[in-house]
Amino acid sequence: MTQPYIRFDKVTKAYGDFIVVEDLYLDIAKGEFVSLLGPSGSGKTTILMMLAGFEPPTRGAVIVDEKRIDQLPPHRRNMGVVFQSYALFPHMTVADNVAFPLEMRGVPKANRKQLVDRALDMVQLGTMADRKPSQLSGGQQQRVALARALVFEPAVVLMDEPLGALDKQLREQMQLDIRDLHKRLGLTIIFVTHDQSEALTMSDRIAVFNKGRIEQIGTPNEIYDHPTTRFVADFIGETNLLDGAIETSDANGLIVALPGNKRIRVAAGSGEATGAAVTVSLRPEKIRLNSDAGSENSLPVTILDSVYHGDHLRMVLDAQGTRLIAKADRRFGDLQPGSKAIASFDAADCWLVRS
Amino acid sequence: MRIAAGKRLAAFCLVAPLVVFLVLFFVWPLATMMSNAVSSPGAVQALPQTGEVLADWDRTSPPTADMQAALVEDLRAIEDDQTVGDITRQLNSAKSGFRTLMAKTVSAVREDTGPIDLVAIDKRWSQVPFWQAIAAATASPYTDRNLLAAVDLARSPTGEIVSLPDTRSANLAILQRTFVIAAGTTLACMLIGYPYAMVAASCTGWKRQAMLAAVLLPLWTSLLVRTAAWFILLQDSGLINRMLQALGIIDTPLALLFNRTGVIIAMTHVLLPFMVLPIFSVLIAIPSNLMPAAASLGANPLRAFWRVLLPLSLRGVVSGSLLVFMTSIGYYITPALIGGPTDQMISSVIAFYATGTANWGMAGALGIVLLVATIALYVVYDRLSSSEGQRA
């Protein structure tokens, strides 16, 4: 990573005895799209509010472009904020809403019009300029909010669950639109969400938060395939968490003993001692049924349930006392609950996570 | 059909008590007051022949013998003293002097049954203005005299509308003073009430409850008690003056009692809830993220207030102002107790006519003027708010 553009340096935010964010270190580069992902109450919105200037940090420093900004009032931070419920001004037209930040910056009226038109065209709302926000649909309002946050070319754009109120189809369209704007305009975007699929689709990097701390930060790929903690593995996507103990370790990896006298081979291990209790994360789509081609691991299982999901089948398996979830191809539709099968998976797809 | 009719009857029965109440205690007194203001039936009924003869009179030439004879006939026909008293009061309110004139004339007419020369009884019967008063009183059972007098106008003897001389009436000046005091109270309520409502709306939990209770508390106390309390607080050796002196801010006591300052202070205190509550209810309905949004877009707090919060809460300010203004133009007790003689408002004039001189016509006419002013204000407000609604 290059020189960080935004830096949280040991930032703590507490309300009385209640600590919302604890000792946060976070570096964000210019032009990066970083998602802050976590369950509600994990402190991610508070971090955004500290960056926007609505909440002062209790301790630590917030640095943007090598300047401490935590004493700067919000209206002098030059950051575009997109709020969860859009926060459009209901008494102004769409054009006036978008012109508001320009007006506040003393941009002459003639230039304002031009910039507003350009910003509205960018979100495909050029024809709606004279309407009131109440006359627009949710998705259109969201796009106005986006245009308003971008029109003054802010240094950073902060988005606080901006797509939460939209329906699924619109949300996916907006995800792509925002992603596209980010690339096209080279924006630095910090995006708060509790929707893991949203974070995975859009981000350059994801910071997963739990109880006011970063559990893991990395690219979507790293977060999904190589979760470092049980929380991350569980929160991002669906996973099977298998508790066991290390039996032996060699150059090819580890053998982990699971309850019920089962053994699985795990490709990667980071110097855990023999006998140590570990948790193995195994993604459901990595489990193959009745096809052991080249698999290091295979377990006899009984099918407990099979649910049709259109593009795949979601199966609940019982591997001699261990419950497994598998996403299986539709050609296994003839496997009825109660029938026996072999579940196999690669050692490379088994991943050790911390508790 | 029958079911629908039954339902309608049931619905009517539900609102019937309200309708009866409104008619009995609102519509009827209002109608009585209004008709009192414009009617003067006494003379028309009691002096029918005089009215007939006077209808042909040009109202400027000297009184004729026919007019005198008709009046004598009419006065003889009246038997009870009540009617005599009524027409005497009616005529006297139009032209002073009738009280003694009528007393003299009636007793003379009753003693003698033959034709009488009225001028011999009293020389005033030769004067045109007295006959003009009778002519005006008998011409129609309705009169605009009270309404005109309420706004310092009168009919000249020839029937044109002219201004009354300053010495004879001060209603317009008092009306103007009423509006000035009401406007001052409204402004003071606005300046205190808006920030108060803002703070209350930004608080949560028990703090908000406490702030609202504090503003509502005055409403739970009698107006008279509150006014008396201000009387104690505002006097020269009262709490306020003593504290200001103790703090060394002033040397001699401020004059707060029996002047306009005191009236506006006390009225503002009483009427503050009517300003705070509408503004508060509008403010809490404004989404809480609009002000942060304005700040993030580069608006400093003052500009954010001016461009976002104020326009959005204007509806509350306007309805609060209207409530306060309308209530305060009818104020009576507070100016009477705390104000000086030059702070009396129009209601005290109405009270003077109603209870002091039993001139119900004038009291009703002033009431109508007040009602019209209030309704006009309401119409303006309604226009403003509905056009606002259409734009939103």
Among B292, B303, B311, the residue with its CB nearest the CB of A54 is: B292
Among B295, B311, B312, the residue with its CB nearest the CB of A74 is: B295
Q: What is the ipTM of this complex?
A: 0.82
Which chain B residue shows the shortest CA-CA distance from A157? Answer: B296
CA distance linking residue A310 with residue A60, whole number of Å: 50
Contacts of B290 in chain A (CB under 8 A): 87, 89
Taking CA atoms, B376 is separated from B102, B331, B380, in Å, by: 43, 18, 6
Count CB neighbours of A27 within 10 A.
17
B293 touches chain A (CB under 8 A): yes
CA distance linking residue B301 with residue A92, whole number of Å: 18
**Which is nearest to B201 in space by CA: B147, B138, B278, B264?**
B278
CA distance linking residue A9 with residue B325, whole number of Å: 56
Is pLDDT at B391 greater than 50 in this prediction?
no
| Token pair belonging to B33 | 């007051």
Contacts of B311 in chain A (CB under 8 A): 91
Give the mutation candidate from A48, A54, A100 for the B interface (greatest B CB count, under 10 A): A100
Which chain A residue shows the shortest CA-CA distance from B314? Answer: A91
In sequence order, the β-bridge partners of residue A353 are: A279
Contacts of A148 in chain B (CB under 8 A): 297
B312 touches chain A (CB under 8 A): yes
A109 residue type, one letter = K
A102 residue type, one letter = L
CA angle B143–B148–B153, rounded 5-degree value: 135
B317 touches chain A (CB under 8 A): no
Residue B385 class from Cβ within 10 Å (0-12 exposed, 13-18 middle, 19+ buried)? Answer: middle
* pLDDT score recorded for residue A138: 87
Contacts of A52 in chain B (CB under 8 A): 292, 296
> Between 3.40.109.10, 3.40.50.720, 1.10.760.10, 3.40.50.300, what CATH number should domain A6-230 receive?
3.40.50.300
Q: Using beta carbons and an 8 Å cutoff, which residues of A are at the interface with B?
A: 52-54, 73-81, 83-85, 87-91, 100-101, 104-105, 132, 134, 148-149, 152, 158
Is residue A143 within 8 A of residue A175, CB to CB? The reply is no
Task: Please state the domain extents for chain A.
Answer: 6-230, 238-353
In sequence order, the β-bridge partners of residue A104 are: none
| Token pair belonging to A238 | 């669906």
Please judge whether B295 and A91 are an interchain contact, meaning their C-beta atoms are less than 8 angstroms apart: no
Is residue A326 within 8 A of residue A282, CB to CB? The reply is no
**For the residues B364-384, what does the mean pLDDT come to?**
87
* pLDDT score recorded for residue B312: 93
Please judge whether A89 and B287 are an interchain contact, meaning their C-beta atoms are less than 8 angstroms apart: no
Each residue's pLDDT expressed in tens, for chain A with a length of 355 residues: 457 899 999 999 999 889 999 999 999 999 999 999 999 888 899 999 999 999 999 999 999 988 898 889 999 999 999 998 889 999 999 999 999 999 999 999 989 999 999 999 988 888 999 999 999 998 899 999 999 999 998 989 999 988 887 888 888 888 988 999 899 888 999 999 988 889 998 999 999 999 989 999 999 999 998 888 999 998 988 899 988 888 887 777 788 888 877 888 888 665 667 778 888 899 998 888 876 666 778 888 888 988 888 888 888 998 888 889 998 887 766 778 888 888 888 888 888 887 7
Please judge whether A75 and B307 are an interchain contact, meaning their C-beta atoms are less than 8 angstroms apart: no
Tell me, what DSSP letter sits at residue B297? T
Q: Which pLDDT tens digit goes with each residue over B49-77? A: 888 888 888 888 888 888 888 888 888 88
* pLDDT score recorded for residue A333: 64
Contacts of B306 in chain A (CB under 8 A): none
Give the mutation candidate from A50, A79, A82, A91 for the B interface (greatest B CB count, under 10 A): A91
pTM of the entire structure? Answer: 0.77
| pLDDT, mean over chain B | 86
Instruction: Fold for A238-353, please state it.
Output: OB fold (Dihydrolipoamide Acetyltransferase, E2P) (2.40.50)
A278: Cβ contacts below 8 Å, ≥ 6 apart? A243, A244, A245, A246, A256, A272, A352
